[in-house]
Amino acid sequence: MNIGRFCLICSISLFLFSCSLEEDGITGLQESGTFPEILLEKSTYIISLEEGNPIVINGDRIEIYKEEQKAVIEEASFTQKDDDSRLTMEGSFKKAEVDTITNDVRMEDSVHLTMYPSLLSITGESLSFESEDRIVRSDGDSSITLTIEGEKSLRGTGFTGDLSRWTFEFEQLQEGVFTYE
């Protein structure tokens, strides 16, 4: 009887000690070590704005972390339309993090944003959008290219753009000249 119990305990111990959890093999594990409460693929995420129509984001992967109050969206495009369903803004990014309380968005990796009807394009590696004030900013010394009507172009760092007032600034201009006629 004791030999059987001893063998059972040894077998269970060997089984438990032989199992390990490798973080590399877990998909959806973020730097914080938490799993998303909701994981969606090929889905839509909508950012409601106090003023104006919502921004509709279509992403390949959307992870929602309720406790951290954030959503992580990968490989996405987004649009915003006016009351007459005309396109006013569109863009894309490889990865973004949305604050689910403020709706502020930090976009990374091949960020592109175009405003209509003036065809104003903002392109760079990282860009943040502050939804309440409709401000876009580059991160640190990340380079941003601003193109107007597909031909007039400025490139620089320290970019800030007020999408409500249509004012745009660079702390340091690297390339381009813009004259308003």
Q: How confident is the model at residue 3 (pLDDT cuts 50, 70, 90)?
A: low
Q: What is the CATH number of the domain that holds 88?
A: 2.60.450.10
Q: What is the pLDDT of residue 9?
A: 57
What's the mean pLDDT in 6-32? 45
Name the residue among 124, 62, 51, 60 with its Cα closest to residue 88: 51
Q: What's the Cα-to-Cα distance from 177 to each of 119, 141, 147, rounded to whole Å?
A: 18, 20, 11
In a domain, 6, yes or no: no
What's the mean pLDDT in 46-73? 93
66-94 residue pLDDT tens:
999 999 999 999 999 999 999 999 999 99
Q: Going by C-beta distance under 8 Å and a sequence separation of 6 or more, which residues neighbour residue 121?
A: 112, 113, 114, 115, 145, 146, 147, 148, 150
Q: How confident is the model at residue 118 (pLDDT cuts 50, 70, 90)?
A: confident
Q: How confident is the model at residue 5 (pLDDT cuts 50, 70, 90)?
A: low
Number of domains forming the structure of the chain: 1
In a domain, 18, yes or no: no
In a domain, 65, yes or no: yes
What's the mean pLDDT in 144-171? 91
Q: What's the Cα-to-Cα distance from 51 to each of 30, 85, 86, rounded to whole Å?
A: 33, 16, 17
Range of the structural domain that residue 92 is part of: 34-175
In a domain, 8, yes or no: no
Q: What is the pLDDT of residue 55?
A: 94
In a domain, 78, yes or no: yes
Whether 126 and 142 have beta carbons less than 8 Å apart is answered as yes
